[in-house]
Every structure is written in C-alpha cells, then in structure tokens.
C-alpha cells in the first residue's frame, strides 16, 4: 500500500515516513513506537490569519453551510499547526457537529445549543406516524458536503488529505430523532417501525458515501480523513453505535449488527468508535465485524486506559489496531504494557513541538 507518491509538503514534511507507519498500523503490525495522530499548535508569535467563530446559534447554522468560512477555518488550522509524526492536515466538511447528515436526508431538523452552538437533532414524537422518507436527489446539506470535497481539493490539493463528512450510524441517529427514552421503548413496542426506519437510514448512509466517493474520483482521489485524527489511503470512516451502551448483547446483534456489517463492508478501511466502557460488553461482537480494522476509544471518566489492559489485549489479539484519545502519561503506561503493535494515540496534553519530539523519543525507549 503506497500512499506517499503524490503528497506535497506545504503543511507536512514527513509524508513518506508517516505513510510507512500508517500502513503498519492499519495492518496491526509491529512498529518501533506507537503512532501519534494529533497536531501541535505553532508558537503564538508564529500564528497568522483569523479563525471565524459563530456568536450565536443562528450564526452557527449559517456557518455550517458557508463554503468560504469553512475554507478560511481549514486554512487557518493548517497554517497554525505543526503536523509531526502521523498527524496530517485533513480537509473535510463537519456539517452539524458531524451529527446531522442522515437526519436531514430523512427530513429531520437540527437545533443548535444556545451556549456551545453545538448541533443536535430535534426529537419528533410522531416520527413513526409520518410517511417513510423516500430516497431522492441529494438534499441541500449533502450537496454542500459534496461541493466542499471539490472546493478543498482545489484549495489544498495534495498538501492535505481529502476528507468528506463523517456520519452517525442509523441506529444512533434514529435514537436521537425519537429521543432516547422513546427509542428504548420502541425497540420493544414498535420493532417493525424501528427496523424499517433503520433500513431506510442505512440507504441514505450508502447514498452519501457513494456521493463522496464519486466526488473524490473526479480528482483521482480516494483517501479519507475523519474526526478521530485517523486517515487512510482509501474510503474510511469511524463506524459506531453509541446507543448500544444501553442495549443487551442480544438486542445489539438484532438491531445494530446488520447495519454495522453492511457499513464496514462498504468502506476500504473502518475504525469503530467505542463510546465509553459501557460498550465493553459488545467487544466480541464488534471485533467479529468483517473488514473492521481498528478500535478508537475515549474513556468517559478520563481514567488511565491501562486499567483496561485485558480488553486491549483481547482486541489486538484479534488483529485489530487501537487508537486512544488520552493523556501522554497514560499513553506511556499503556505502551509499556502492550508494546507498539497496532497502537496509536491522539494526545490531549502535548501542545508544543518540543514536548512532542521529546515524547516521541520516550515512546521509543519503552
């Protein structure tokens, strides 16, 4: 897998080395240190440009569909960060806080929180009484995400990895559209409604992925970058089912697994977003998904991730790699326990070039 041929060095200078580490990681192979996916900010005196931020929910909604603002903010991030180790400048569309694409394709509505301006899905109590949405031409929001693929290619070329717009899974999307309490009752009382909506949302998901794939193909590109910091030389996304924390293994297999297996088969590379330790009960089923390459985890309580070393050994023993969003001290302790095979981190507390270079040396010493 050679992904180093076309990359140019305006923002990142070690593409060839990073690609070698990346290849080994996706294959869950040995490396001399774990991969590190997070960039670090440049010193304040070297920063330039201006990040455009919304001042209220209405502005946030407008910003989500403003190509010029998106390009400005992407360029700002590229020019004011250092992309060391395996961190890459990734250009993608983060419509509705990455929550809402399936929702709007199905005719749902998005709200923006008054304090954080984060997007959220509007609950619909009578959703199952409405006609099932029919597949149609791309909605306005999907058209925008497709257009941003072209705009990002034109603006950044091979200085950046070309992403798309990550999407929530159909089941979590449906749970947010119905409201969590309603949805859990739906699984028992309205099973057929749940299944037909999951099928339709799955069709919308596939439609969007095909659209992204076709847009990149226009530019002879197929690679992908997403919110986890991970990237790949082909179609890739973080598949997930956040609502499964509230499901028994039996219900997870019945309602979630069919769509998860379909999604994983649709991509070249997939990484599972493990949404907290309450998903541990599903680890065997998750690791059994064909074409799943890696597991990404953020501890919901900020704990030292090495305390779950038995879980991580089980995952790597099944040939799946690991990506943790965590602190550097926890990354070191886990590396000592697990070794480097298939291991990667997005570090939450390394914020200078000097600290990053020192930390990379410490990882090799473990």
Domain boundaries, the chain: 1-42+229-366, 51-79+89-226
* Mean local confidence (pLDDT), 149-157: 97
* Mean local confidence (pLDDT), 188-200: 95
pLDDT in tens, 231-240: 999 989 999 9
* Mean local confidence (pLDDT), 145-158: 97
- The SS3 of residue 271 is strand
First-to-final CA distance of the chain: 28
CA atoms within 13 A on the CB side of 84: 20
Task: Name the token pair of 227.
Answer: 């919110």
Residue 4 has pLDDT above 70, yes or no: no
pLDDT in tens, 95-115: 998 889 999 999 999 999 999
CB 324 within 8 A of CB 345: yes
pLDDT score at 167? 87
The model carries a pTM of 0.94
pLDDT score at 279? 95
pLDDT in tens, 169-187: 999 999 999 998 999 999 9
Place of tokens 């070249």: 268
Residue 356 has pLDDT above 50, yes or no: yes
* Closest to 53 measured CA to CA, from 75, 69, 71: 69
CB 63 within 8 A of CB 52: yes
Grade residue 199 by pLDDT with cuts at 50, 70 and 90: very high
For domain 51-79+89-226, give its CATH number from 3.30.479.30, 3.40.50.2300, 3.20.20.210, 3.40.50.720: 3.20.20.210
- Alpha-carbon dihedral of residues 90, 96, 102, 104, nearest 10 degrees? -140
Residue 341 has pLDDT above 80, yes or no: yes
pLDDT in tens, 307-323: 999 999 999 999 999 99
pLDDT score at 5? 55
Residue 136 has pLDDT above 70, yes or no: yes
* Mean local confidence (pLDDT), 204-215: 94
Q: Angle at the Cα of 201 (from 265 to 246), degrees rounded to 5?
A: 85
Residue 1 has pLDDT above 50, yes or no: no
How far apart are alpha carbons 245 and 282 in whole angstroms?
Answer: 9
Average pLDDT, the chain: 93
* Mean local confidence (pLDDT), 52-62: 94
CATH placement of domain 1-42+229-366: 3.20.20
pLDDT score at 155? 97
């Amino acid at each position: 897998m050679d992904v180093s041929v076309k990359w140019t060095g305006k923002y990142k200078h070690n593409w060839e080395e990073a690609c070698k580490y990346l290849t080994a990681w996706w294959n869950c192979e040995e490396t001399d240190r774990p991969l590190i996916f997070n960039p670090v900010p440049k010193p304040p005196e070297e920063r330039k440009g201006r990040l455009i931020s919304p001042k209220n929910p209405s502005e946030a909604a407008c910003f989500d569909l403003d190509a010029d603002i998106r390009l400005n903010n992407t360029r700002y991030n590229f020019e004011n960060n250092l992309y060391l180790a395996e961190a890459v400048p990734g250009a993608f569309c983060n419509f509705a806080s990455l929550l809402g694409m399936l929702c709007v394709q199905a005719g749902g509505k998005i709200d923006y929180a008054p304090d954080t301006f984060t997007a959220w899905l509007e609950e619909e109590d009578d959703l199952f009484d409405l006609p099932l949405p029919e597949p149609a031409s791309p909605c306005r929001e999907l058209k925008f995400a497709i257009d941003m693929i072209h705009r990002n290619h034109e603006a950044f070329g091979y200085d950046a990895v070309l992403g798309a717009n990550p999407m929530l899974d159909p089941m979590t999307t449906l749970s947010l559209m119905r409201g969590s309490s309603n949805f859990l009752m739906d699984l028992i009382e309205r099973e057929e409604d749940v299944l037909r909506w999951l099928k339709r949302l799955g069709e919308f998901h596939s439609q969007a992925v095909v659209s992204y794939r076709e847009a990149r193909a226009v530019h002879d590109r197929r690679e992908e970058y997403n919110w986890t910091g991970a990237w790949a030389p082909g179609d890739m996304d973080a598949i997930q089912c956040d609502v499964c924390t509230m499901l028994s293994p039996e219900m997870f297999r019945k309602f979630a697994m069919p769509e998860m297996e379909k999604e994983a088969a649709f991509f070249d590379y997939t990484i599972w977003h493990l949404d907290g330790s309450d998903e541990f009960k599903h680890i065997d089923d998750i690791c059994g998904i064909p074409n799943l390459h890696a597991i990404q985890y953020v501890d919901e309580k900020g704990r030292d991730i090495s305390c779950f070393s038995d879980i991580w050994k089980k995952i790597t023993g099944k040939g799946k790699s690991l990506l943790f969003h965590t602190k550097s001290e926890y990354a070191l302790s886990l590396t000592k326990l697990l070794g480097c095979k298939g291991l990667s981190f997005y570090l939450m507390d390394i914020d200078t070039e000097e600290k990053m270079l020192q930390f990379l040396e410490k990882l090799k010493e473990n």
